[in-house]
Each structure stands twice: as structure tokens, then as C-alpha cells.
Amino acid sequence: MKNTVNVDVAIVGGGIAGLWVLNRLKALGYSVILLESEALGAGQTSKAQGIIHGGTKYALQGMMTSAAQSISTMPERWKQCLAGQGEVDLSKVQILSKQQYLWSPGTFSGKIGGFLASMTLNSQVKLLKREEFPLIFQNEDFKGQVYELDEMVIDMPSLIRELVRPNQELIFKMDPFRIEQLHFNDAQQLDEMVVSAEPLEPITIKAQKYIFTAGAGNEILLNALKNKEVAMQRRPLHMVMMKIPTSHPLYAHCLGMSATPRITITTHVAEDRQAIWYLGGQLAEEGVTRDQASQIQIAKEELHVLFPWIDFSEAQFASFFVDRVEGLQEEGKRPDSCVLKNLENIMVAWPTKFALAPKLGEEIVAALGPLEKHVGDVRALRAWPMPAVVKPIWDELL
């Protein structure tokens, strides 16, 4: 039919989850398309700090947790991909830092000190000597300790671009889908999706499997499904960014009193080549109840306490609110791993962390089961535009 597209798999949502799965399924020989309603990476993915967590952050109470265990093999899988030898070729993605640091303004003591010491045995973490500290801590006013963690930090815009580059002919921009565009049959299977991109004619998508990786946009599907087993949660953050005229690159968590780092700092480069410090951790979690002016004021005070030897008076600040969107957990806790719900011919997925994308991809491939592979027919989408790759949030706000 003229206005019908036939594929093995249709993916909705072009953040890390959708783009990763698109790459995996194409490599496995499935006919697959991805539909995005805004810009690629426009949800949480472009706002991530870029840390490929290995789990140490989830063990700050001084013991191995299930979340730490589940993510512990991810750095190695990403390293292979970044070297061009993994399941997805990420050899052109920019690595911002080969390691993340964990620092304490004083000494690491008690349970966490013992735990970190035990971790040094398997070389995931290393206690640094003063001369090995990142430059920013090589100041006589710094009295603390620093560990090096085997966790890379990558540039998210370049990650999105590299996942998109080989698949441009498979990615299409559509208007956000509405419930009435999802046509279910009596067996509760999704028969077809009618998608539109005004002013073009609507198109019917027919696929064997539909994978929804639309982050917060998955809620539209959940409302249509009315299935209590599939639900999502939002955990809000109030992130802060600072543009600094002189560059002090830093990629580090500061140990606080709780299981969440007191502050997590990553450094990025703005369009005008100035450095951006991007601030998350407890500052961002507790900041959700503050307005923007108060959040920026608290961030300035925190930086002054943690880095009294640095003059931040020339820095420009901005903040914004963003939700982490995940599969629903008891009491709204962070899921220990990625979440994939498989219902008839629909899958709904949230990676929980972008670092878990390889694990989510693997689970989706396994859940597809013995799906037949066909040559797809996407001619009806030929005139449809491709969505842009989103601009980094610091270039929007600073």
C-alpha cells in the first residue's frame, strides 16, 4: 500500500536507548526504523554528565550493592566500543576523560575507607599520591584524599552523532504520537501505528515488534495500555552549569555524608570553546525544591567551600530542571538496572543510566526471540525529514 511502511521493528524515541537498539538490530540484519518527535538526544541523553559508571558511586555506603554489581561490567564493554572493537562502533566518540575521580575534603575513613581499600585490590580504584592528583587539587589548601576510578567520561553530543551517522536513512521525524494513532487488535497486540508529520500525509507503520524508548514520552503508550505491570517514575534533578574563563578540567565525585555524592562535577566545552563545569549529585537532587536563583547561590557557596583557592567571581551560572525517567520501583527508588517490559508485540524500555545501554540492547535482542527477518519497505517515508541532533544544553543556556 502506498502509505504503508513494513519493517521488522519500529523504534519510537531517539535517545541513547533507541539509538543503541537501532544500531544493534540493523547489524543483526533486521529491517528497522526509528521515529523521533523532537531532536535526537533531546530528552535526558544530551543532559547526561557522560560518566560511564562502573558502580563505585552506588557503593558509597561502603558495601557492594545490587546496582553497583549490575553496572560493573559496563566500562569494559564501552571501552571495546570506543576502541572500534565492540558491538557498536564508537571509535569517533570524543573521550573527555579516561577516568573519574572520587575525592574527600578530609580523609576517607570508617566503612567507606575500608571498602575503597578493598576495591584497590581488583584495580577498579586507586588511591592517589599527592603528585598524582588532578592539577586542581595540587594546591596546598587542599587537605583531602583522591581516588582514581576506572570510569571514563565521554562527550554526549559526539556519542549521539556517532550513533546516528551510519543510520541516517532509517531515522525519521514525526509529530508526537497520540493514543488514537495506536491501533490494537482484540489480542491486545499493536496492529499498526499511524504517524504524521504535518503537512505530509499520515503514514501507517506495520511492524512485527514495536519498541518504545521515548523516555518520558513512553507515558502516552502506558496510558493506552492501562496495564499496571508497566509503569514509570520520574526522579527530578535541578542541575547547575557554570562557564569559566580559565579552564580547570575536573571529572570527580565529592564524597558526602550520604549514599549520593555531595557534588559530581564534569567538564565540557561550549561552542565558544570556554569550559563548562556541569554540577550534579546531591546538589541537584536536593535542589529540586529551590528556585533557580537559590540553587545557583547554594552552588556558588558549595564551590567556595570545596575550592577556596579558586576565584569563581568571573563565572556565569545557569540552572535547569530535568527528570530522570525510569521503570517504576517500590517507593520510587532508583532501579538497580535497566528496565524492559515485554507485552505481546510491544516492548517498553528505560535504560536507567546511559551506561547501561549495552545491557539493555542485549536484553532487547534476547527478548525478540526467533523473529523473522524481512527486507523492509520504507519507501513511503522517503520524503520525511530527519530530526536534527540536539544542541548541548550549555549552548542553549549559557
Ligand X SMILES: Cc1cc2nc3c(=O)[nH]c(=O)nc-3n(C[C@H](O)[C@H](O)[C@H](O)COP(=O)(O)OP(=O)(O)OC[C@H]3O[C@@H](n4cnc5c(N)ncnc54)[C@H](O)[C@@H]3O)c2cc1C
Which residues of the chain form contacts with ligand X (CB under 6 A)? 12-18, 35-38, 42-45, 47-51, 53, 176-177, 213-215, 217, 220, 237, 239, 280, 322, 324, 350-355
With a CB cutoff of 8 Å and minimum separation 6, the contacts of 128 are 101, 145, 146, 147, 148
Q: Which amino acid is at 272?
A: D
Question: What is the C-alpha to C-alpha distance for residues 223 and 177, in angstroms, rounded to an integer?
Answer: 12
| Shortest distance, position 53 Cβ to ligand X, whole Å | 5
Whichever of 137 and 354 has its CB closer to ligand X, that residue is 354
In the complex, which residue's CB is closest to ligand X? 217
Smallest distance from the beta carbon of 45 to ligand X, in angstroms? 3
Identify the residue whose cell numbers are 554526549: 156
Distance in Å, CB of 110 to ligand X, minimum: 27
Read off the C-alpha cell for 370: 526467533
Whose Cβ is closer to ligand X: residue 48's or residue 136's? Answer: 48
Burial class (CB in 10 A: 0-12, 13-18, 19+), 84: exposed
Closest to ligand X by CB, 267 or 352: 352
Closest separation in Å from C-beta 117 to ligand X: 26
CB of 186 to ligand X, least distance (A): 25
At a CB cut-off of 8 Å and minimum separation 6, what does 306 contact? 105, 254, 263
Cβ proximity to ligand X: between 237 and 368 the closer is 237
The alpha carbon dihedral of 122, 101, 74, 326 has a sign of positive
Q: Which residues contact 186 (CB under 8 A, 6 or more apart)?
A: none
138-141-145 Cα angle (round to 5) = 60
Residue type at 171? I
Least spacing, CB of residue 32 vs ligand X, in Å: 15
Nearer to ligand X, 18 or 376 (CB): 18
* C-beta closer to ligand X: residue 8 or 36: 36
Cα angle 285-288-294, degrees, rounded to a multiple of 5: 110
| Min CB(188)–ligand X separation in Å | 20
**Cα dihedral: 235, 156, 302, 300 (round 10):** -110
Based on CB atoms, which residue is closest to ligand X, 52 or 315?
52
Question: Which is closer to ligand X, CB of 101 or CB of 350?
Answer: 350
Minimum CB separation from ligand X for residue 210, in Å?
Answer: 12
Shortest spacing between CB 214 and ligand X, in angstroms: 4
Q: At 10, phi and psi to the nearest 5?
A: -115, 125
- Phi and psi for 393 in degrees, rounded to 5? -60, -35
Residue nearer to ligand X on the CB measure, 147 or 177: 177
CA 239, CA 260: separation in Å to the nearest integer?
15
How far is the C-alpha of 339 from the C-alpha of 326, rounded, in Å?
7
Least Å from the CB of residue 375 to ligand X: 25
User: In terms of CB distance, is 142 or 350 closer to ligand X?
Assistant: 350
Amino acid residing at 167: N
Would you state the cell numbers that stand for residue 374, as one nine-digit string? Answer: 524481512
Rounded-to-integer distance, Cα 382 and Cα 174, Å: 13
